[in-house]
Copies of this chain bind each other. A is one copy, B any other.
Amino acid sequence: MSLVAVGTVAFDDIETPFGRAEKVVGGACTYIALAASYFVKPVRIVSVVGGDFPQEMLDNLKNRGADLEGLQVRPNEKSFFWAGKYYRDLNTRDTLDTQLNVLADFDPVLPETYRHAEFLMLGNLTPQVQMRVLDQLQRRPKLIAMDTMNFWMNTAMSDLLQVLKRVDVLTINDEEARQLSGEHSLVKAAKIIHQMGPKFLIIKKGEHGALLFHGDNLFYAPALPLAEVADPTGAGDTFAGGFMGWLAKTGDISMENMRRAVIYGSAMASFCVEKFSVERLQELNTEMIERRIKQFADLVHFRM
């Protein structure tokens, strides 16, 4: 089934305790699309880049089956740019620089073929832009997932609440779930967030894994402990890409299959962090992914 992915396609400067990378390819939509491309084709991209964005990367996306019709290219402008520095625990980071550039007045336009999307992933963007995408759909997708962040809770809460009403799955981290709900207990937070709209809530906890809440049904996918983590950038978006890619591939949105999708998302994220930028996400294959899924199964296996 078709998957539409909305979000940034951009450049990052990244510093971690294990190295640094300058002006490398990043952006939520890039990570989402690459991760999802291992499961479903085409992934239809909605984004905007400047003339500085490398044609080679766009070709890579096309070769991996992405549909770039919804990608706006503005030759005389610059792509969105983010610079960040991670601390030793890799769970905390500082934003050093943000240059909106083409994103400042981004108005997403959905090509005709996109408007009947069966699966839609709204990457982290201004809630207003996310809403603009929803408004252009000609029928309601089978499943709409969205990502957001604390920044929008602080600056655009009422817009955010409007978008939340219209989506099925929300993916945020634990601190964001606490902020959005006003509850410290994630169990209580989930109940409140369910009432805001999303029937499914995924709480991403980085090295501590991910939780999927659906009413009283609760699933905990631990993260795979890794000997080496090079760069956590994009792990959350990669998770979303693997999660939605698996659902779009199977077309099955039962809770049973959602659990499986969370494991696929976690597996893709565990690859993502092994190298800087999107490097690792371009060198995988089905066998490598299935082997990792088995590692996740073994990680939590016990017999009663």
Contact at B259–A302, with CB atoms within 8 Å? Answer: yes
| Among candidates B88, B205, B262, B299, residue contacting A184 with C-beta atoms closer than 8 Å | B88
Instruction: Quickly give the copy total for this chain.
Output: 2
Q: Which of A110-118, A155-163, A217-225 is the contact stretch? A: A217-225
Contact of A225 among B187, B263, B303 (CB under 8 A): B187
Interface residues on A, range: 35 or more
Interface mask (A201-216 → B, CB under 8 Å = 1, otherwise 0): 0000100110100000
A219 cross-chain contacts in B, Cβ below 8 A: 299-302
Please, what's the 1-or-0 string for A245-265, where 1 marks a CB less than 8 Å from any CB in chain B?
000000000001001101100
Query: Do the beta carbons of B225 and A218 come within 8 Å of each other?
Result: yes
Indicate if the CB atoms of B205 and A208 lie closer than 8 Å: yes
Inter-chain contacts of A222 with B (CB < 8 A): 209, 220, 222, 300
Interface residues of A (CB under 8 A from B): 17, 88-89, 184-188, 205, 208-209, 211, 218-222, 225-229, 256, 259-260, 262-263, 293-294, 297, 299-304
Residue pairs across A and B with Cβ atoms less than 8 A apart, 11 shown, are A17-B184, A89-B184, A185-B227, A186-B225, A188-B227, A220-B222, A260-B302, A260-B303, A263-B302, A297-B302, A300-B300
